[in-house]
């Protein structure tokens, strides 16, 4: 099975313009993400997919595989879909370009189910919520699955509501996805779903249209860089890691 890792990266962001090139301990953020991705043993190749010449130039400077894509894509998955049109593979893994400390083992867990279930088309990760603030935070998509981990719904609201039982663990989405080529073709040609548009969660396009999305639980401590404050958190984490390595 040929498996391609794709890191969508765009320069223009409403909350943090230019974040793929933000400096973290002397290297651009996209470099850190790429270094983690190339450690994933299941990936045959890894590419950054961008629509910006500045990101392309930095990738080439650091020896990062990069593919230029359209400026018109609405989501990262659309960008992965364009890569799939240019490079043939059996599976494409969408790795977020704003998670510089994601562990390679975490990415691998989105891939493993495809070796166990050849009919699977889409996978996604989730992790248990430990901070109660995240349950009510609308920027954190909550995941609801059936007993087999198949996605039933994702929402920015606190769900399910604990009316009958408060003994419940909430889960949030970790944005690493696995896609078979057929699933990508569907996503890139199908209109946005009604609920997808309301919640603004792209994976709902598959669920609304009857796709079986396998969610895999991970113990993830990754930090998504959505704001300059998030960037400072990551700098601190990596700085502490380097200090510990120097002392050991």
pLDDT tens-digit series, residues 19-31: 999 999 899 999 9
Q: Where are the alpha helices (DSSP H) in 87-145?
A: 104-108, 112-116, 132-136
Instruction: Give residue 244's pLDDT.
Output: 64
Pairwise CA distance, residues 155 & 66, whole Å: 33
Asked whether the predicted pLDDT for residue 42 surpasses 90, the reply is: yes
Asked whether the predicted pLDDT for residue 40 surpasses 80, the reply is: yes
Q: C-alpha distances in angstroms, 36 versus 66, 70, 98, 114, 230?
A: 16, 25, 12, 21, 18
Instruction: Give residue 56's pLDDT.
Output: 98
> What are 82-110's pLDDT values in tens digits?
999 999 999 999 999 999 989 999 999 99
32-40 mean pLDDT:
97
Instruction: Give residue 187's pLDDT.
Output: 97
> What are 149-189's pLDDT values in tens digits?
999 999 999 999 888 877 789 999 999 999 999 999 999 99
Give this prediction's pTM. 0.92
Pairwise CA distance, residues 126 & 128, whole Å: 7
Q: Which CATH number fits domain 3-131+174-247: 3.40.50.1000, 3.90.380.10, 3.90.550.10, 3.20.20.140?
A: 3.90.550.10
Pairwise CA distance, residues 223 & 225, whole Å: 6
Instruction: Give residue 237's pLDDT.
Output: 87
Higher pLDDT, 225 or 21: 21
Q: Where are the domains of the chain?
A: 3-131+174-247
Exposed e or buried b per residue across 68-82, where buried means at least 16 C-beta atoms within 10 angstroms of its C-beta: ebeeebebbbbbbbb
């Amino acid at each position: 099975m040929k498996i391609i890792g794709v890191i969508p990266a765009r320069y223009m962001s409403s909350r943090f313009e230019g974040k793929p090139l933000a400096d973290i301990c002397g290297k651009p953020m996209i470099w850190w993400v790429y270094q983690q991705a190339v450690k994933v043993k299941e990936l045959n190749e890894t590419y950054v997919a961008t629509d910006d010449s500045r990101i392309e130039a930095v990738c080439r400077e650091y020896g990062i595989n990069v593919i230029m894509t359209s400026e018109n894509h609405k989501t990262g998955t659309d960008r992965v879909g364009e890569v799939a049109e240019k490079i043939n593979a059996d599976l494409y893994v969408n790795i977020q370009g704003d998670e510089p400390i994601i562990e390679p083992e975490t990415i691998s867990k989105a891939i493993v189910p495809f070796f166990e279930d050849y009919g699977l088309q889409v996978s996604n990760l989730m992790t248990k919520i430990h901070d109660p603030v995240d349950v009510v935070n609308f920027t954190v998509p909550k995941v609801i699955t059936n007993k087999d981990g198949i996605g039933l719904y994702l929402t920015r609201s606190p769900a399910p509501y604990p009316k009958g039982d408060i003994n419940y663990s909430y889960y949030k989405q970790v944005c690493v996805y696995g896609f078979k080529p057929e699933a990508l073709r569907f996503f890139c040609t199908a209109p946005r779903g009604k609920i997808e548009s309301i919640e603004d969660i792209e994976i709902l396009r598959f669920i609304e249209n009857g796709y079986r999305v396998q969610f895999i639980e991970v113990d993830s401590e990754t930090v998504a860089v959505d704001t300059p404050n998030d960037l400072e958190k990551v700098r601190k984490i990596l700085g502490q890691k380097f200090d510990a390595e120097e002392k050991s």
